[in-house]
Structure 1
Amino acid sequence: MLTERQKLILGVIVDDYIRSAEPVGSRTISKRGTVGFSPATIRNEMSDLEELGYLEQPHTSAGRIPSQKGYRYYVDHLLKHVELSDEVVRKLKAFFAERLNRLEDAMQQAAQIVARLTNYTAIVLGPEVFHAALRHLQIVPLNDRKAVAVIVTDTGHVENRLVDIPEDMSASDLEKAVNFLNAKLTGVPLFRFKTRLYSEIAAELSRYVSRYEELCRMIEDVLENDHADRVYLSGTTHMLNQPEFRDVEKVRRVFDLLESTPELIRLMSPSTEGIQVRIGEENSVEAINQCSLITATYSVDGRIVGAIGVLGPTRMEYGRVIAFLERFSEEMARLLSQWYR
């Protein structure tokens, strides 16, 4: 349990570090008119906050920076409501006043304006990711080694892809496996398909075909391609503007993740409605364990139909981004409600 003084000092350090990206010292804090404590008192409190795990000291003679625990406490307990600037509100109104005739165009433009107005990387999952469920799977052999896999969703989308048939798999075994998969997976949302395929179906499928693992991978590849045009990215190069990402290897890992559609869908799929803030290692993905991901769902008639995410360093302007996503998700829900009438 932090004292009121510790809360005040922690909040000041987080705010200053977000703005400057430089470690914050006791003298800097004491000059803030809102604090009113001597540098010696502040140093003692900073030392205690470091021992409690809320602050870190990157260099022996430097000031302190927030730890991931410190950011979490800040977001949960110290974050103040932020009003969007008149300019941002005006640009949002202009965007949603435009005539957006195609869903794909609206989703891509949504990603672009989120990235532009937050200066972070934007990820948008379109409604198809959440709405589309398997209606029918068909695998049509062309010869002993090649086949065409056809996936039909309940939204009417059809995906065809040329695939390799697992070696030594007969046409009859392939037909049995496909019939089994249709019986078990029809109606399952595509974004949950991979989890169901490996956690519940693979063991049973092994009774039908000996090379079931290769068959599972083949179907997974088709689904990965099917999702590719339903995840919209913008602002990936904004990462390069952050001092935390001067390490080329760190940036490469983040960019590799952003190119992995299934991983993005897993990261972005909401467990609850509304705003979610995941800081650093809370993302459970090593590539972004130094990043924060803030997501917001948007709903139509009480049903979640999509999600918007902002990815940036843990030194993110949480208040501004949360306020922006709250407003943006509300406007997105209104737009889609009109389309779904």
Structure 2
Amino acid sequence: MLSKRQENILKMIVLEYIKQAKPVGSKAICKSLNCSSATVRSEMAFLEEAGLLEKTHTSSGRVPSEQGYRYYVDHLMEPKEMSGEDMLKLQIVFKNQSLALSDSLEASLRLISDMTNYTTIVLGKTSHDNILKEIRAVPLDESSIIIILITDKGHVEHKQEKLDHVSLEEVKKSVGLINDIIVGTPIDEISSKLEFEVKPIISRYVKEHEVIYNMFYRVFNEFAKESVNVVGKNKLLMQPEFNDIDKIKTLFNKLDEENILKLSKVSKDDKDINIYIGKENSLDSDVTVIRTNYKRDGEEGSISIIGPKRMEYDRVVTLLEFLKKEIESKGDKDE
């Protein structure tokens, strides 16, 4: 257990290092705490011995260790009030009723990436507890249609398909058969039902049944799969921690879909805001990942912000809390 003075010193070092990206010496702390440099050096040595601070090779000052950041986040971090400018920019995006949720998300993540110089990621998907309510096929012209899927939670997805070697009448007949069989089925189970129940039925009644089956399989597969959007990847280049070309190449290679899906996986232990510092995250030990999950109108997903371990934790947490609230209430408020 740290004393109040030790906590104050650790907090000052964390905040100063986040701000300046330079090791912090005892001189700067003495002025703020009004105590001798010998006392501060002694306390810094204790914090280093406790694994909360580290020495660098290039300076006599100290920097926070992963454990030091974790102690700060868990015990010392205070809520940071959001600036009026940041709030207004994000509110404008979410008050625009003409934007779909996915568009609002992308626009807001670009804003946050620009505000913070960190990388932002959104992982979106149709909620597992959505149940298919209806399928519709709407002709656009003689050679293409839009297939519309509607769930019990009001989530609507549509996909344009070409009518290659198949007539509109056959598509309509197939839609009727498919509705009879899979309406009321959870989204996660549709692919299996298509293959083992729908395919044998439409093969009896529809001439080009393979073409029809493949078309609907594509549509449902697209509907059920998770979508990943990475915004501001190059922002990491602006951080002094990543001025090593080999280090940044390694990190960029890790920002692929497979790693992001692992990183964004929802757990029963998740809190409103989840903070993974260094080795705590599955992406890279040189970064911190701060993530929140959202749920809105049958869609659920997660938003992550990736930056150096020297991240503005309080500001990012405030931004994510605000973003989560705006997403989950989008459309509930009057203009």
Instruction: Give the TM-score taking structure 2 as reference length.
Output: 0.69
The residue that corresponds to 2:16 in the other structure is: 16
Match of 1:215 in 2: none
Q: Return closer, same or farther for 1:95/1:295 CA change in 2, 3 Å cut-off.
A: same
Deviations along 1:144-197, one digit per CA (max 9) or x if unpaired, are xxxxxxxx99778799xxxxxxxxxxxxxxxxxxxxxxxxxx95859xxxxxxx
Q: Which amino acid aligns with 2:65?
A: S
* CA displacement at 1:129 relative to structure 2: 6.9
Relative to structure 1, the CA distance from residue 72 to residue 227 in structure 2 (aligned partners, 3 Å threshold; closer, same or farther) is same
Alignment-mate amino acid for residue 255 of structure 2: L
Instruction: For residue 94 of structure 1, report the CA deviation from its aligned partner.
Output: 1.1
> How many pairs are equivalent?
261
The answer as to 2:252 corresponding to 1:255 is yes
- Long gaps (5+) in structure 1: 135-151, 160-185, 191-222
Match of residue 193 from structure 1: none
Cα distance change on mapping 1:71 and 1:273 into 2, 3 Å: closer
Q: Distance in 2 between matches of 1:64 and 1:244?
A: 16
Contact 1:112-1:233 within 8 A present in 2 as well: no
Q: Cα 1:90–1:153, aligned 2, differ >3 Å: closer, same or farther? A: closer
- The CA distance in 1 between the partners of 2:74 and 2:109, in whole Å, is 26
Equivalent runs, 1:266-305 vs 2, <5 Å: 266-271=262-267, 272-283=270-281, 285=282, 287-300=283-296, 305=300
The verdict on how the C-alpha distance between 1:257 and 1:94 changes in structure 2, with shifts beyond 3 A counting, is: same
Per-residue displacement from partner, 1:17-39 (whole Å, max 9, x unpaired)? 0000000000121122xx12211
Amino acid at match of 2:317: I
Q: Which moved more, 1:58-67 or 1:80-89?
A: 58-67
Instruction: State the Cα distance separating 1:101 from its structure 2 match.
Output: 3.6
1:233 has 2:230 as partner: yes
Q: Identify the residue that residue 65 of structure 1 maps to in structure 2.
A: 63
> How many angstroms apart in 1 are the aligned matches of 2:156 and 2:83?
42
What amino acid is aligned across from residue 236 of structure 1 in structure 2? K
CA drift of 1:292 comes to: 0.5
- Aligned to 2:39, which of 41, 62, 71? 41
3-state DSSP class of the match of 1:44?
helix
Written as runs of structure 1 = structure 2, the 5 A alignment for 1:5-154 is 5-32=5-32, 35-59=33-57, 61-128=59-126
Aligned match of 2:211: none
- Assess, with a 3 A threshold, how the Cα gap between structure 1 residues 122 and 250 changes in structure 2: closer, same or farther: same
Query: What is residue 308 of structure 1 aligned with on the other side?
Result: 303
> Which runs of no fewer than 5 residues in structure 2 stay unpaired?
133-148, 160-184, 190-220
Percent same amino acid among aligned pairs? 38
